A and B are shown apart, each in its own frame.
Chain A
Amino acid sequence: MAFLSIQHATKSFGQAAAVEDFNLEIERGELVSFLGPSGCGKTTTLRMVAGFEVPTSGRIELNGVNITNQAPNQRNVGMVFQAYALFPNMTVADNVGFGLKVGKKPKDEIQKRTAEMLGLIRMPQLGDRYPYQLSGGQQQRVALARALAIQPQVLLLDEPLSALDAKIRVELRSEIRRIQQTLGITTIYVTHDQEEALSISDRIVVMSAGRIEQVGTPFDIYNFPKTAFVASFVGTLNQLRCTVVDAGQGKLSFDGQTFTATAPIRAAAGASVIAALRPEELHFGQFDGENQLTGKVEAVTFLGGIVRIRMVLGQSQITLDALNERKLTLPKVGDMQLVSFPPHACWVMADS
């Protein structure tokens, strides 16, 4: 039995279902993120675990206890909000100690634990400040410390970094991961940012329109997406409409050029399918045992670590990512270029 178990959870607001038949088992100490576009039901699911929403149907168990209808203040679940939600009338230390004070812990224990938490978030000196005297990143650290001070069974974070600058965001997300692993705390992390989810999670739950699309490790989600939605939502994906030439051999025809994809293809010869291919699997030039396609360079975008090149092949566009190097010669717009990719990099998605 998993530590946290969500079984057939459904939540409807009026007619519309915000979350439908949600099933997930989370192990102790795991960090699982919910990833999906805005409005897909991530927050609603999280709020059911926190107790702020009662499922229309289904069951939630935490450490073997059915908490489906338990009040939020009985659950011992830590929550971190996008808007920090620090108590503006209290100092940092009082914010962090609030849960302990409410829990009627002795004064010296509150003090000790607050200091410990402030150390954990690397802000030991700032206990006397008020929230408005802190930067957004610092406020969110305090919110994290406050949630962790009560030693919750589960930590829930709802887009905790969305309100912060890009640089702080990257810094703080590895900080959150470090703290989560130090404490070994079971965590659900809600985000709409795929890079964030990929970098921080043990497992990712990709959601769309109130349903789970796929659950898996970041590597699996990115490299072996099960649905077209996951494939296109996570990372950049080239989608080429092709005609099947030989399903058993994986041969496809695209814009008059033939190439090989992962075999076998589950479609009859002559059928129209979509072949998927990540931009980083493509490269310029000719290589043994690889497919080749010819196209025209349409745009070159230098992104620093990588160079993103958009090309036109017949009616379609494809994107190619090249790793930056100092000896790289950038292609010119309008050039005709040969691009290559190994057959295993390309797969045919179930047509929807």
Chain B
Amino acid sequence: MTTQASSAPAPRERSRAARILTRRGFPLWSWLWFILGALYFILPLYATLDFSLRMERDTIGLKAYSAAFADPVFARTFGYSVLLAVVTILVSILLVVPTAYWIRLRLPEARRIVEFITLLPFVIPAIILVFGMIRIYSSPVNLPFTDIRLLAPLTTSRLGTNALIVAGYIVLGLPYMYRSVDTGMRTVDVRTLTEAAQSLGANWATIMVRVVLPNVRTALLSGALLTFAIVVGEVVLASYLGLPTFGPYLFLLGQHRAYEPAALTFTTFLLTWAAMGIIQLVTGGQGQVAGAH
């Protein structure tokens, strides 16, 4: 994207500072909002970090961290949550990419409906989602008005409960995943790219693997990042489904301890970003993909 810089020369008698501060020469308000926004995120994070380093009176140290990491439950729950996050991300990519693609390609009329559906998690609290799931899937699911059994009760088996929580996480991550993928597809005009590939003789599999996926990589990554963050910190679904994930562990810890939860919160934050950084590096290659016009 190119933006035309304003080329009107400022009157000579105006001072340099005055020129810099005009809204056209220097985006004062944009910067102000940016700084305010950044502070909004950084201050709590900084406070957490600061607090987590003060477990020992009057010194700055990592005692809270070593204490938190020493608890084997931490490693177990965190590993479990990461696993759930990875599965959630993979399944939502499999679900969202073809859906968003098909809508861009063939069903543009359906986009608003699907967008609305993906926004439902913002309107319907997770607690309602989890009660609904428990209500429906704790008894066998039959074909409506018949006795034909479609599904055994899910909440009674570990595998079933895991499937339920992944499904719930997919729903929670949907607004982020769908929107970022859909935006990514719009940015590269995936529809015209598809037609170009088709006219060059490519079949659907080739188009998907060689054209669509590489060009929505950045979008997938940001969707995955947000999904990861949601899953690792999630408490409600995990508590009510009774699964030993990281969220409830941190919550419990917070009720008994002060410094360790702060240390873990900050660590999770760092890990999340590190994980995404690694993905970016691994899949990086030439790096420049999105936003190419």
A residues contacting B by CB (< 8 A) are 50-52, 71-79, 81, 83, 85-89, 98-99, 102-103, 130-132, 143, 146-147, 150
Contacts and interface: CB of A to CB of B under 8 A. Distances in A.
The 5 closest A-B pairs by CB, nearest first: A99-B200, A132-B292, A88-B292, A79-B199, A89-B214
Contacts of A79: 195-196, 199
Given A79-B199, A85-B192, A89-B289, 7 more contacts: A50-B199, A73-B200, A74-B201, A79-B196, A88-B289, A102-B201, A150-B200
B193 interface: yes
Interface residues of B, number: 26
Nearest to B192: A85
19 contacts: A50-B199, A72-B195, A73-B203, A79-B199, A81-B196, A83-B189, A85-B196, A87-B210, A87-B211, A88-B290, A89-B289, A99-B200, A102-B197, A102-B202, A103-B201, A130-B288, A132-B291, A143-B196, A150-B201
Contacts of A131: 292
Nearest to B216: A89
Contact of B200 (A51, A102, A130, A132): A102
B227 interface: no
Contacts of A75: 199
A78 B199 contact: yes
B206 A85 contact: no
B189 A99 contact: no
A155 B192 CA distance: 17
A128 B168 CA distance: 45
B188 A88 contact: yes
B203 A130 contact: no
B104 to A, nearest CB: 14
B81 interface: no
Contacts of B188: 88
B198 interface: yes
B288 A132 contact: yes
Contacts of B203: 73
A85 B286 contact: no
Given A83-B192, A88-B292, A130 B286 contact: yes
A32 B193 CA distance: 25
A86 B293 CA distance: 9
Interface of B: 188-189, 192-193, 195-203, 206, 210-211, 214-215, 217, 286, 288-293
Contacts of B200: 73, 98-99, 102, 146-147, 150
Contacts of A83: 189, 192
Nearest to B293: A132
A73 B202 contact: yes
Contacts of A87: 193, 196-197, 210-211, 215
A132 B291 CA distance: 9
Contacts of A85: 189, 192-193, 195-196
Contacts of B293: 132
B292 A130 contact: yes
Nearest to A76: B201
A79 B188 CA distance: 18
A131 B193 CA distance: 13
A85 B193 CA distance: 5
A8 B189 CA distance: 32
A209 B198 CA distance: 29
B198 A72 contact: yes
Nearest to B202: A102
A186 B286 CA distance: 37
Contacts of B195: 50, 52, 72, 79, 81, 85
